[in-house]
Amino acid sequence: VQLQASGGGLVQAGNSLSLSCAASGRRSFSTYVMGWFRQAPGKEREFVAAIDWTSKTYYSDSVKDRFIISRDDAKKTAYLQMSKLSPEDTAIYYCAADVPPYIVVNTPARWEFDYWGQGTQVTVSS
């Protein structure tokens, strides 16, 4: 499984930005759990959002009601629509995938993600 994240950039606070994560590989994308994580300078990587194979979604408290994760199985792509951005959202955003057999863990991310994309920089100016 290869993941390619895109869509990052520089945006002013209060504005919106959308990220995409295109998957490739022989496995069936519709069975993937897709996730987004981010890592700000000097901080640990943190869970942002996830969407499972039924399209049920999960969010961290810091982005809930501002970010929306979605997926298009036909396009093998996951999305992260970010709104009401603030400078605190500045980070490198990574997409990730967990494939069957899923490994459920007791963390905010809920799954142990097996595959990671290269990251895309999101910078929010004040």
Name the amino acid, one letter, at 22.
Answer: A
Question: Do residues 61 and 41 make contact, with C-beta atoms less than 8 angstroms apart?
Answer: no
Q: What angle do CA 51, 120, 20 make, to 5 degrees?
A: 40
Residues paired with residue 65 on neighbouring β-strands, in sequence order? none
Give pLDDT, residue 25: 86
Nearest CA among 66, 58, 61 for reference residue 13: 66
Helix (H) or strand (E) holding 97: strand 91-98
Give pLDDT, residue 36: 98
Give pLDDT, residue 103: 87
Give pLDDT, residue 108: 87
Give pLDDT, residue 49: 98
**Using CA atoms, how far apart are residues 34 and 23, in angstroms rounded to an integer?**
10
pLDDT digits over 98-126, tens only?
999 998 898 889 999 999 999 999 999 99
Structure tokens at 85: 């951005």
pLDDT digits over 24-76, tens only?
988 899 999 999 999 999 999 999 999 999 999 999 999 999 999 999 999 99
